[in-house]
Structure 1
């Protein structure tokens, strides 16, 4: 299996290099991407774009050599050296110019992050494995199409997942889909959480404990006709949770109750009731 993986690495590295070169050589936003990158700080504003273009030329040349048979050991060695240089450059950019953009796989402004460094590390490992290749990737794929396809799919998925500049392609649509499916601003009752927060913030119970609060809404859940909303707080030097009970069937703020619960022991240290009938919920709960 290791032979198959090693043999496919020139295809992976070559594809990534050509994709990266596309941004530097043919993107209409290449100049802006170069000026936002750490190259402007490293080489100067005037030299940033020529260096960016030159790097793109090196990438497309080396990428094409890796994709076209035969794959020579010198090509794999050059790819590994280039990946190491990328890793060093990204480490420099993150330390010396933290607001600079990566400019790697997209012209979108994306600051250098741990994901970019991990992707460069992955390319270093892929280049090192390519040095062990004993045959061509096309032959390996033809001989073991299922296993080879699975290896390529996993590696390319890893490259995409470690590329913040590509989040708009897959991650943001997934987040929008999750928001549509889960309705994060609604509880099980269908009452928007925002409406609950507005109701409790207008209540006397909230005003009386507001000086204790140290966070926004940390958790919320519904139980019967009540919604419980938890805030991190500090009371008499203790870390506590302020648990508000907000009636779902009564929009008036007077019905809001609050209990201050010790995070360590789960004991209720303070309980304030509104003017709603006395058959409301018990608030001596342990925070999740």
Structure 2
């Protein structure tokens, strides 16, 4: 059974590395993500994006090689080296640039926390396990026990990945909010700004542009069922304002919308979807 688990580690590591490389290689905001990481301080602002993309390319190449026979021993040793490198980078970030984004996986921005170290440590354990495999993952049919062990391992990776919170942790928190009625027994019918901010911070719209924001809440106003909240932002080195439309009387983070507007020209620089029309 342990041999089957070891052989399956190549699949687990490959999946994690493909996901990790995605945010470093795909999308219009790769440069902004790179500049929010400690790479900006480590290699310089001009080299941050190329270094960020290079790491993503290495991850993708290693992920592909782990899926192909027959030299899984060499590939698993490379995964061990990469895991050790991740731990070193996280340590450097935590000490030298604690406010920087991890830039570890996916396209979401997340700070370096104990979960980041836990995930990198688990990746190291998985790579060490893969190095002890005596056969490739495609050369034997795993039993139910081996599949169950790997499933638990995958769930640990998910639990340690802050970038995936929106898929399982945030829905649970949203359910809790709905069940506990956070606006019950308030002194008036006015919705506190903190409540709107709480909803905003848990929205996909906020996560999409978080790397571009340069201030806390700058202004806010209500129009009908919507509360508009603005932040100072930067888009392609242009001074801009990010405006969010947040449902005012209901908790629906998925309905939050955002637009980034150039401060000088008034041009809309970024708007994933149209802002809702106030009632």
Q: Measure the CA separation in 2 of the matches of 1:81 and 1:110.
A: 23
Answer yes or no: is 1:100 the counterpart of 2:100.
Answer: yes
Partner residue, 1:116: 116
Answer yes or no: is 1:53 the counterpart of 2:50.
Answer: no
Structure 1 residue runs without a partner (length 5+): 187-191, 197-288
Counterpart of 2:163 (choices 154, 162, 165) is 165
Answer yes or no: is 1:86 the counterpart of 2:86.
Answer: yes
Please say if residues 5 and 147 of structure 2, whose CA atoms lie closer than 8 Å, have aligned partners that are also in contact.
Answer: no
Identify which of structures 1 and 2 has the higher relative contact order when contacts are C-alpha pairs closer than 8 Å and 6+ apart: 2
Q: Measure the CA separation in 2 of the matches of 1:184 and 1:168.
A: 21
Q: How big is the shift at 1:105?
A: 1.2
Partner residue, 2:10: 10
Please say if residues 37 and 102 of structure 2, whose CA atoms lie closer than 8 Å, have aligned partners that are also in contact.
Answer: yes
Can you list the C-alpha shifts for 1:192-214, whole angstroms capped at 9, x where unaligned? Answer: 34459xxxxxxxxxxxxxxxxxx
Q: Measure the CA separation in 2 of the matches of 1:23 and 1:67.
A: 21
Q: How big is the shift at 1:2?
A: 2.0
Counterpart of 2:176 (choices 155, 178, 187) is 178
Trace 1:1-288 onto structure 2 (pairs within 5 A): 1-140=1-140, 142-144=141-143, 146-180=144-178, 182-183=179-180, 185=182, 192-194=184-186
**Over aligned residues, Cα RMSD in angstroms?**
1.8
Question: SS of 2:132's equivalent?
Answer: coil
State the TM-score, normalizing by the size of structure 2: 0.63
Moved over 3 A (4+): 192-196
Please say if residues 24 and 30 of structure 2, whose CA atoms lie closer than 8 Å, have aligned partners that are also in contact.
Answer: yes
Q: How big is the shift at 1:71?
A: 4.2
Q: Measure the CA separation in 1 of the matches of 2:185 and 2:73.
A: 60
Question: SS of 1:53's equivalent?
Answer: helix
Look at both structures and tell me which one has the larger radius of gyration over its CA atoms: 1
Q: How big is the shift at 1:19?
A: 1.1
Please say if residues 72 and 136 of structure 2, whose CA atoms lie closer than 8 Å, have aligned partners that are also in contact.
Answer: no
Please say if residues 10 and 71 of structure 1, whose CA atoms lie closer than 8 Å, have aligned partners that are also in contact.
Answer: no
- Count of residue pairs brought into register by the alignment: 188
Please say if residues 6 and 133 of structure 1, whose CA atoms lie closer than 8 Å, have aligned partners that are also in contact.
Answer: yes
Please say if residues 2 and 146 of structure 2, whose CA atoms lie closer than 8 Å, have aligned partners that are also in contact.
Answer: no
Q: Measure the CA separation in 2 of the matches of 1:33 and 1:5.
A: 35
Please say if residues 25 and 53 of structure 1, whose CA atoms lie closer than 8 Å, have aligned partners that are also in contact.
Answer: yes
Question: SS of 1:115's equivalent?
Answer: helix
Residues 164 and 9 of structure 1, relative CA distance in 2, 3 Å threshold: same
Q: How big is the shift at 1:109?
A: 2.1
